[in-house]
């Protein structure tokens, strides 16, 4: 059992809405604070990602195209090939 969580018999009544005091309030606060710490880590990494893009930009690379490369590399190769084949077909049909 995760040490942040009390053992079973101290769990809030079936629904915490009845009396959110004492243990249930502490438990809620602890969940919220854990989430906030993780959200902060996530925000810091998002900042780091932005910094790499701006470093690349100042090295002369195009950020918008780099983002497309990053998203293309997430795709399965065969799926990507099939998708692009169909896209070319549709592009030819509607002339774009």
Asked if 14 is part of the footprint of its own copies (rule: CB under 8 A), the reply reads yes
Q: Which of residues 24-83 bind its own copies (CB under 8 A)?
A: 24-25, 27-29, 31-32, 34-36, 38-39, 41-42, 45-46, 48-49, 52-53, 55-56, 59-62, 64-66, 68-70, 72-73, 83
**Distance, CA of 42 to CA of 37 (rounded, Å):** 9
Q: Which helix (H) or strand (E) holds 65?
A: helix 63-74
**Distance, CA of 29 to CA of 34 (rounded, Å):** 9
**Distance, CA of 22 to CA of 6 (rounded, Å):** 12
Determine contact, residues 56/63, Cβ cutoff 8 Å.
Answer: yes
Enumerate binding residues for its own copies (CB under 8 A): 2, 5, 11-17, 20-21, 24-25, 27-29, 31-32, 34-36, 38-39, 41-42, 45-46, 48-49, 52-53, 55-56, 59-62, 64-66, 68-70, 72-73, 83, 85-87, 89-94, 96
């Amino acid at each position: 059992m995760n040490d942040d969580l009390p053992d079973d018999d101290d769990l809030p009544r079936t629904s915490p809405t009845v009396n959110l005091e004492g243990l249930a309030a502490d438990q809620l606060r602890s969940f919220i604070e854990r989430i906030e710490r993780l959200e902060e880590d996530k925000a810091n990494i998002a900042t780091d990602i932005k910094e790499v893009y701006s470093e690349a930009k100042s090295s002369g690379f195009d950020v918008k195209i780099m983002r497309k490369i990053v998203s293309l590399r997430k795709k399965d190769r065969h799926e990507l090939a099939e998708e692009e084949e169909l896209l070319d077909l549709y592009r030819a049909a509607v002339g774009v």
